Structure formats: C-alpha cells, structure tokens
Amino acid sequence: MDAAGTLKLIIESKLENISLIGSAVRGIAGMLSMDAISGYQLELCVVEAVTNVTKHAYHGESGHSVEVDILLYPDRLTFKIYDRGDTMDLSRIEPLAFDPSKVESLPERGMGVFILKTLMDEISYETVNGQNILTMIKYLKTGEGLSSPTVLIRN
Amino acid sequence: MQLQQRHTGSVLVVKPLEKRIDASTAMDLKQKMNEWIDAGNRRIVLNLSQVDFIDSSGLGAIISGLKKIGNDGDLVICMVKETVMSLFRLTRMDRVFDIFTSEEAALAALSQKG
C-alpha cells in the first residue's frame, strides 16, 4: 500500500535541534486528531530515537545528518530514522528492571529504547551500505487519521 | 535552563520555566540539582507546571537528584501535566516519586517529614 503522504525532515546532529523534529511530530499528531497523551508519546518515541542517534551513533558530534522520514498510511504512521554513525545493537538493551523502594537501583539512562519498544507497535533496525535505518510503526486508533491526505507533501 | 527557585522554610521549591526538559537541557538540570544538594538542600519540591515535554534524559536528570539525596531527605514533584505523567507511569517512576497535584500539598508533605 502506498503512503498517502511522506514528510522528510533532516537536522544536523545537535541535541538542541531535536525539538524541531519533536514539534513536527506533535503537529502531525494533532493533524491526525490524536489525543494529547498519544501525541506526546509519539513525539517522545521519535525524540528518543533521534537522541540515540545523536548521542550514541554519532557520539555527540555535530556536523552529521539525521534524517527522519514520516510516512502516513490510512491505518498507520511509519517513521524511518537514517544515520551513518556507529551501528547500535538494540537487542542488547536490558528491560527496565528496578525496585521502586530502593533509590540506588533506579536507572538514570537506558530508558529511551525501553520507551520505543513499549510505545511503538513495531520496531526494526537494519544497516544497509553503511546506513543505519530504524523503522518504527504506530497503528492509528479509531477516529485517528487524515480527513484530507493532500495536506501532506505527496511523493 | 531557566528556573525559578525559592525557599519555604527548609524546603527548596524549584520551578523550571522551560517547556521542555530533554537531552539538550537535562545535563544543565542535573548540574543545578547537584549544586542545590551539595549546598545542603535535602528537601526539594520540583514544580513541573510549566513543563510540556520530558524525555528519558530529562527524567534521568530528575532521578539523579533523588538518588543524590538518597535517604537523607526527599525530592517530590508537583503539578505534572497528564501528558508528562504518562512518562512517569510508563517507566513506573510514579511509584518512585511522591507526586502532588499542588505545590501546597507537596510542601505540606515535606514539612511533615522534617
């Protein structure tokens, strides 16, 4: 099935640029009539993914490109995040395990991928010719979606 | 990061004035939290009424403050927006932090612990 619309966002790998992507995602969530929490969580997932690329794939170095493609289908949103930094092994991320009553056991990092895996419906990661591609899919709920797909830039 | 801070008795009340606490501001918040705690503040209220967005880096900074205080005081949170609250629930941090609907309730709870 072809996407009804595709949006391509490209930022330089700087932490302060990530909110630009986040704001765009929140805007799309609003356009799709998502409720506030669903919109926040969608933004959160994309922000976490782009932050991971900036911090870990590019080790916090600026000057690299991070590309986010947002593909809108009638039943789902697909996000593709592209980078040419170090490949990550998402399967090695530990589940979020801690004892809420033991302060010393609380995690301070490593929560980003847990958030993605919990909130997104599908996640895959591949490296093709040196380019890493994280694909995240979120299925739309009843009542969510575009009333007019032409408002997005058509490929 | 723009912050408003004041003391009410022995309690430090901190209100971030930014809409976002994310990877670009989390280190700043963590550093400020360290400074407050190193300066002897052991009972802190974090008022999140102005904050629309927190990611895992921002949450990590808040957690680091709680860990630094340890069992020698408390860091409580108040006025969390429902969207941000969903992150606390997702990560089970709603079971870690005492979270209050008003600053007065947070202050009252901390005062009782004093």
Lowest mean pLDDT of A90-94, A113-117, A150-154, B17-21, name the range: A150-154
The answer to whether A80 and A138 have CB atoms below 8 angstroms apart is no
State the architecture of A5-95+105-147 in CATH terms. 2-Layer Sandwich (3.30)
Confidence of residue A140 (pLDDT cuts 50, 70, 90): very high
Residue A146 in this model has a pLDDT that exceeds 80: no
Tell if the CB–CB gap between B24 and A107 is shorter than 8 Å: no
What pLDDT, on the 0 to 100 scale, is given for residue B111? Answer: 83
Query: What distance, in Å, lies between the first and last C-alpha atoms of chain B?
Result: 29
User: Which chain B residues are within 8 Å of A43, Cβ to Cβ?
Assistant: 53
8 A C-beta contact, residue A29 and residue A144:
no
Nearest-Cα residue of chain A relative to residue B95? A100
Distance between CA atoms of B46 and B59, rounded to whole angstroms? 12
Tell me which chain B residues have a C-beta less than 8 angstroms from the C-beta of A118.
Answer: 90
pLDDT at A113 exceeding the cut of 60: yes
Chain B residue with Cα closest to A96: B91
| Longest pairwise C-alpha distance within chain B | 35
Residues A78, A11, B55, CA angle at the centre, nearest 5°? 65
Query: Quick one: average pLDDT of B15-25?
Result: 97
Q: CA nearest B59 in A: which residue?
A: A108
Q: How confident is the model at residue B71 (pLDDT cuts 50, 70, 90)?
A: confident
B90 in A contact zone (CB under 8 Å): yes
What mean pLDDT is reported for chain A?
Answer: 91
Q: Does A109 touch chain B (CB under 8 A)?
A: yes
- Positive/negative CA dihedral, A37, B16, B67, A101: negative
Which tokens belong to A142?
């009843």
Confidence band, pLDDT 50/70/90 cuts, at residue A61: very high
Give the residue on B whose Cα is nearest the Cα of A38.
B83
ipTM associated with this complex: 0.93
Q: What ranges do the domains of chain B cover?
A: 3-113
Would the pLDDT of B69 be above 90? yes
Cα B5 off chain centre by: 12
pLDDT of B113 > 60? The answer is yes
Q: Vertex B26, ends A47 and A49: CA angle to 5°?
A: 20
Q: pLDDT at position A1, please?
A: 65
Q: List CB contacts (< 8 A) between B64 and chain A.
A: 108
* Interchain proximity B91–A114, CB inside 8 Å: yes
The dotted CATH code for B3-113 is 3.30.750.24
Mean local confidence (pLDDT), A80-95: 86
Reply yes or no on whether the pLDDT at B107 is more than 60: yes
Instruction: Name the residue in chain A with its Cα closest to that of B70.
Output: A103
Residue B114: predicted pLDDT: 55
Please state, in angstroms and rounded to a whole number, the distance separating the CA atoms of residues A118 and A113: 8
A41 touches chain B (CB under 8 A): yes
Contacts of B59 in chain A (CB under 8 A): 111
A93 touches chain B (CB under 8 A): no
Which pLDDT score, from 0 to 100, does residue B59 have? Answer: 98
A114 contact residues in B (CB cutoff 8 A): 91
**In the prediction, which pLDDT does A2 show?**
75
Q: Is the pLDDT of residue A45 over 90?
A: yes
The whole-number average pLDDT for the span B65-89 is 95
Token duo for residue B16: 């971030």
